[in-house]
Structure 1
Amino acid sequence: MRLQKKTPQNYGGMSVEEFGKWIIDLGDGKLTTYSLENESDPTWIKVPTEFLIQHGDNPIQDIVKATYSELPTKYKEGRYLRERAILTPKNEDVERINSHILSSIPGKAKTYKSSDTICKASANSEEQDLLYPAEFLNSLKFSGIPNHELDLKVGSPIMLLWNINPSKGMCNGTRLIVKNVNAKLSSNRIT
């Protein structure tokens, strides 16, 4: 569906239709599979070389450069940001990619921290402080929950992953750009 929206006319020499069919076939398990040495089940596929990013010593840098080649000059342009994305299944890779991208945006980063206390509703609140010190709480990482620290710079793109206030358009998938790192809430939607 995303390929049908304002996309380039080709992907590595393939038309949008051909690329879309290849992606669908990949997802449906219709591509020819191969076995490597000493493997009985064929579970590998051949990815066309035009889809591969040639990399050197820093794969994160190579992926970012291939996807956002003009980031240092176009990071404030909504259209530029809307037309590209890097997807990864692991949060640790997201952190590394985000950190690399943030380092290439000019300006000083500001770090925002989450709350790091336990609700004192229980009668054993003193024991909770011993069991769950702030350092421990700050080190926890969960799927679907932001990490304790979030670094932002003016010009940083943000995508909401939760429905914060749907009546005001602040819902999952809303794209924002940081306009002021010192304000409590200051952002403009990318249109």
Structure 2
Amino acid sequence: MTRNMRASSDPWFAQFLLNVGDGTEPSIGNDFIRMPDEMIIPYTTEEESIDELIETVFPSLNENGHRIDYVASRAILSTKNEYINRLNEHMIETYPGEELIYHSIDTAEDHAHGNYPSEFLNSLTPNGLPPHILKLKKECPIILLRNLDPANGLCSSTRLVCRNFQRNVIDAEIATGGHAGKRIFIPKIPLSPPDDDLFPFRFKRKQFPV
């Protein structure tokens, strides 16, 4: 259950969020807030804890993953691409059906030599960019990373569900907002990290922006 849905149905959780926002929740050393045990998934092993996290946020994923309302009301947030990529790979394995793999084309531009090996460029996972190896299945949810066509609902952070695949486009259905239910096509496009100073060259990745 997402924060917004739980806040509307759970008075205790709603009050906790209000206390945090108002600065009245007791803190530790004036910098940290202890999360209540009811909001924590205990750590056992990495694999078991990830399974428990996915099952908590996406209960009965196999049976419900194709439903627009189910996809639109749930999300797992993370601080780094490497963490969320690991979660995404774990989740995609639980979906039934054939897995499709799309590889990006990575280049180093604006550099005197530009002779960085492709293996090195492929290993980079800057924030805001899709992975070099993108694994998808029919009915799996995706989130758009760029504004492609705001007038038609294709904005950054728009949630969609994959319906079909072609070599250079993803056939998807918008899951949220005023354009929910609309079928659209997502192309591969050139993408660069939002932080231009991240590397000593301009990194460009051509991949689906999801």
Alignment of 1:3-14 (within 5 A): 3=4, 9-10=9-10
Report the CA distance between 1:151 and its aligned residue: 0.7
Corresponding residue of 1:46: 34
Q: CA deviation at 1:54?
A: 4.1
Q: Which amino acid aligns with 2:94?
A: S
Residue pairs, 1:1-191, within 5 angstroms = 3=4, 9-10=9-10, 15=11, 18-34=12-28, 41=29, 43-57=31-45, 58-118=48-108, 127-128=113-114, 131-182=115-166, 184-190=169-175, 191=180
TM-score (norm 1): 0.77
In the alignment, the residues of structure 2 paired with residue 9 and residue 47 of structure 1 have an alpha-carbon distance, to the nearest angstrom, of 19
Residue pair 1:54, 1:62 contacting (<8 A) in 2 also: no
1:38 counterpart residue number: none
Question: Which structure has the larger Rg?
Answer: 1
Classify the secondary structure of the residue corresponding to 2:164: coil
Residues 100-123 of structure 1: per-residue CA shift (max 9 Å, x gap): 11010011211112222345x88x
- Consecutive unaligned residues in structure 1, runs of 5 or more: 35-40
Q: Which runs of 4+ in 1 moved over 4 A?
A: 5-8
Alpha-carbon distance, 1:22 to partner: 1.3
3-state SS in 2 of match to 1:179: strand
TM-score between both structures, scaled by the size of structure 2: 0.71
**Are the counterparts in 1 of residues 85 and 131 from structure 2 also a CA contact under 8 Å?**
no
Instruction: Give distance in 2, aligned partners of 1:154 and 1:27.
Output: 39
Q: Is the 8 A contact 1:175 1:189 kept in 2?
A: yes
Identify the structure with the greater strand proportion.
2
> In 2, Cα distance between the equivalents of 1:24 and 1:94?
28
Percent same amino acid among aligned pairs?
32
Residues 168/42 of structure 1: CA separation in 2 closer, same or farther (3 Å cut): closer
Q: Supply the AA of the counterpart residue of 2:16.
A: W
Q: Are residues 43 and 174 of structure 1, via their aligned partners in 2, closer, same or farther at CA, if it must alter by over 3 Å?
A: closer
What amino acid maps onto 2:134 in structure 1? L
